[in-house]
Structure 1
Amino acid sequence: MLNGKQRAALRAAANGLDAWFQIGKGGISDNMVADVSAALDAHELVKLTVLRTADEEPKVLLRTLAERLGAEEVAAVGGKIVLYRRSERDGVKHIEF
């Protein structure tokens, strides 16, 4: 569980990131979950874009993805959502708070 200071640091770090994935009217598929999980394992912090055609609000999609991935909800601002999960892989540079 992240505290407010950690969440703010992650939001600041995510500010410079490009969104790697898009969620549209198809919603969240199993393939997307697998791809986002792989990205979290490699980078720990991932930004996604929620398109206007998506059936659900970004906050709902963020909560759903976080639950399915075992990740932390960092932010849902406008059409962008950010997830964090500490990587267990060797050789990954961890985000320090």
Structure 2
Amino acid sequence: MLTSKQKKHLRAESHHVQPIFQVGKAGVNENMTTQMEEALEKRELIKVSILQNCFEDNKEVADQIAKSTGAQIVQVIGNTIILYKESKENKQIELP
């Protein structure tokens, strides 16, 4: 579990990161979560954009992604989810 100090640090780090995944009306599927896991291993910190045609609640989508990828939710703000998962082989972000 991330502390508030760590979340604050990760939010600052994610400021310049562009969303690399989009969740639409089909919702979250197995193929998408597999790709997210690979991206998290490579980058550690990713943003996911939720499109307007997604019928699920943003927090539910974030929980679903976090549960299936093993990532931790840094923040859900508007239609954007910020996720963090420490990389096993490619550690780049040093948490306070």
TM-score (structure 2 length as normaliser): 0.95
Residues 50-72 of structure 1: CA deviation (Å, up to 9, x unaligned): 00111112111111111111111
- Give the ranges of 4+ consecutive aligned residues of structure 1 lying more than 2 Å apart after TM superposition: none
State yes or no: 1:21 paired with 2:21. Answer: yes
Match of residue 3 from structure 1: 3
Output the CA distance in 1 between the equivalents of 2:57 and 2:29.
16
Residues 16-46 of structure 1: CA deviation (Å, up to 9, x unaligned): 1000000000000111001100000000001
Match of residue 78 from structure 2: 78
Match of residue 52 from structure 1: 52
Which of 58, 82, 93 matches 1:95? 93
Structure 1 alignment gaps of length 5 or more: none
Output the CA distance in 2 between the equivalents of 1:50 and 1:88.
27
TM-score (structure 1 length as normaliser): 0.94
Identical-pair percentage: 36
Output the CA distance in 2 between the equivalents of 1:66 and 1:26.
17
Match of residue 38 from structure 2: 38
Alpha-carbon RMSD: 0.8
Q: Alignment length, in residue pairs? A: 95
Structure 2 alignment gaps of length 5 or more: none
Output the CA distance in 2 between the equivalents of 1:32 and 1:22.
9
Match of residue 64 from structure 2: 64
Call closer, same or farther: CA 1:85–1:74 in 2, change over 3 Å: same
Question: Per chain length, whose mean CA-contact separation is higher, i.e. which structure has more relative contact order (CA < 8 Å, sep 6+)?
Answer: 2
